[in-house]
């Protein structure tokens, strides 16, 4: 395999991981927006999270065995781990719905989830074009869009907490939902972290 092929292999692996994250995001969206058959949907989220873990380890094995990489090894590692974190956070939220015995979904959680899905989709466009990072503005355009979505998510998250603390009278429910909102926010933050690492890579080659 020539140098160019070895470099492209990493971009393909990132794209494959991104596609798996899109699938996990869609499953999570279905759980949140159609809050029925919860345990089965949560079990499916665990399966998808495991698939993402496997793909992440595939990238790290390729990194460990490669002398030739398209950009800094440390950045490849950071991107892979942070992509995996997106789904780890979503799976954590899913599991807590069962553990906490959540019986009804809150509208703020649905709104945050929609933004997470938007962030995941924008990252997927980014990784579709990642191999053109040295020659095409689209990668940076996607970074900017993910940052915009995360900023919107910050506003929704803060309003969700404000509403929760103002309206929830049951302290146990308050603790449950504070944790759930924090984990949803963490997933959106992970989307932004991926975009920011990619931005740093682009800047190195500008």
**pLDDT tens digit string along 64-98?**
988 888 899 999 999 999 999 999 999 999 999 99
Given pLDDT bands bounded at 50, 70 and 90, which one contains residue 206? low
CA-angle at 26, arms to 22 and 29, nearest 5°: 135
Given pLDDT bands bounded at 50, 70 and 90, which one contains residue 205? confident
Per-residue pLDDT at 3 exceeds 80:
no
From the list 155, 128, 115, 157, the residue with the least C-alpha distance to 29 is 115
CA distance 200 to 97: 36
Per-residue pLDDT at 174 exceeds 80:
yes
Per-residue pLDDT at 134 exceeds 90:
no
Per-residue pLDDT at 1 exceeds 50:
no
Q: Which residue has the tokens 């944790």?
A: 179
pLDDT for 32 equals 97
b/e per residue, 17-35, with b = 16+ CB within 10 A?
bbebbbebbebbbebbeeb
Per the prediction, the chain carries an average pLDDT of 94
């Amino acid at each position: 395999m020539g140098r160019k092929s070895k470099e492209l292999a990493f971009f393909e692996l990132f794209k494959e991981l991104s596609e798996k994250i899109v699938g996990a995001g869609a499953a999570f969206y279905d759980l949140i927006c159609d809050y029925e058959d919860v345990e089965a949907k949560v079990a499916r989220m665990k399966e998808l999270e495991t698939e993402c873990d496997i793909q992440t380890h595939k990238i790290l094995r390729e990194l460990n065995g490669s002398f030739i990489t398209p950009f800094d090894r440390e950045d490849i590692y950071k991107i892979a781990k942070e992509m995996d974190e997106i789904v780890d956070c979503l799976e954590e939220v899913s599991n807590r719905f069962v553990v906490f015995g959540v019986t009804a979904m809150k509208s703020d959680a649905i709104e945050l989830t929609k933004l997470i899905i938007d962030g995941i989709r924008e990252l997927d466009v980014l990784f579709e074009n990642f191999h053109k990072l040295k020659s095409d503005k689209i990668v940076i355009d996607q970074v900017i869009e993910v940052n915009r979505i995360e900023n919107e998510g910050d506003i929704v998250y803060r309003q969700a907490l404000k509403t929760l603390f103002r309206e929830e009278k049951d302290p146990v429910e308050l603790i449950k939902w504070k944790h759930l909102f924090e984990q949803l926010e963490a997933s959106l933050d992970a989307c932004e972290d991926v975009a920011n690492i990619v931005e740093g890579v682009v800047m190195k080659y500008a």
